[in-house]
Amino acid sequence: MVIKSAVVKELTTLLEVEKKPYEPKRGKTNIIMFVGLQGSGKTTTCSKVANYYKKKGWRVAMVCADTFRAGAFDQLKQNAAKIRVPFYGSYIETDPVTIAEEGVSEFKKDGMEIIIVDTSGRHKQELDLFDEMKQVEKAVQPDNIIFVMDSSIGQQCYVQAEAFKKAVNVGSVIITKMDGHTKGGGALSAVAATQSPIIFIGDGEHVDNLEQFSAESFIR
């Protein structure tokens, strides 16, 4: 028991970084940009976070700046309708920077408090997509950039998370697909690489399958 307790304490410490997670401010515009690898569950996670804040009484909107994956527009639009939040995207415009900028501008005028910007999934070898991600960040000036990480990614986690952190100002991490057999050891790598706190974990496909992260209970 003593050894187990020591291990839990040490691993918990590793997950509790000094950097505090961004806290949205009521009555002002809070822009949250989502980034991550292809297939990490990023678009679904955008909807979960939007639903989380909407239920708490925030004025929330979502922008689809993912022009790379076929179906991303329809998926986010359908999810927005399901949770009843405003949505912005385009079937015609192919420049994600333009879409992100226009969407954020429109929702700012509408007085939205939380504007969630979904971006294309990408990995560190895709230099053009990484450059595009930097341009979206520059255009919308997000208050928080969330790196969405699939819990089953394994040993690639550290290098990928590090690449995202070097490219844009990652401020928080969300771990997805915790409903499978994976125990999420990559969370340690994501925190180490980004020096950013984990704020939520996702454990299913439903919009309510999102819970606030607690380092000690996660480790236990």
Q: What is the pLDDT of residues 186-200, one digit of tens each?
A: 677 787 788 888 899
Contact 24, 116 (CB under 8 A): no
Rounded distance between C-alpha atoms, residue 134 and residue 132, angstroms: 5
Contact 12, 219 (CB under 8 A): yes
Residue 120, Ramachandran bin (φ over 0: left; ψ between -120 and 50: alpha; else beta): beta
- pTM (whole model) above 0.75: yes
User: What is the DSSP secondary structure assignment for residue 36, as one 8-state letter?
Assistant: E
What is the predicted pLDDT for the residue at 11?
Answer: 67
What is the predicted pLDDT for the residue at 185?
Answer: 64
Whole-angstrom Cα Rg for the chain: 17
- Low-confidence stretches of the chain (pLDDT beneath 50): 181
Task: Give, in order, the Cα–Cα distances in Å from 149 to each of 12, 134, 156.
Answer: 19, 19, 11
From the number of C-beta atoms within 10 Å of its C-beta (0-12, 13-18, 19+), residue 123 rates as middle
What is the predicted pLDDT for the residue at 6?
Answer: 78
Dihedral (Cα; 104, 146, 40, 127), 10-degree rounding: 80
Buried b (16+ CB within 10 A) or exposed e, 70-96: eebbebbbebbeebebbbbbbeeeeeb
What is the predicted pLDDT for the residue at 151?
Answer: 77
What is the predicted pLDDT for the residue at 184?
Answer: 60
What is the predicted pLDDT for the residue at 3?
Answer: 79
Contact 41, 150 (CB under 8 A): yes
What is the predicted pLDDT for the residue at 112?
Answer: 98
Rounded distance between C-alpha atoms, residue 28 and residue 144, angstroms: 14
16 token code pair:
């509790």
What is the predicted pLDDT for the residue at 197?
Answer: 87
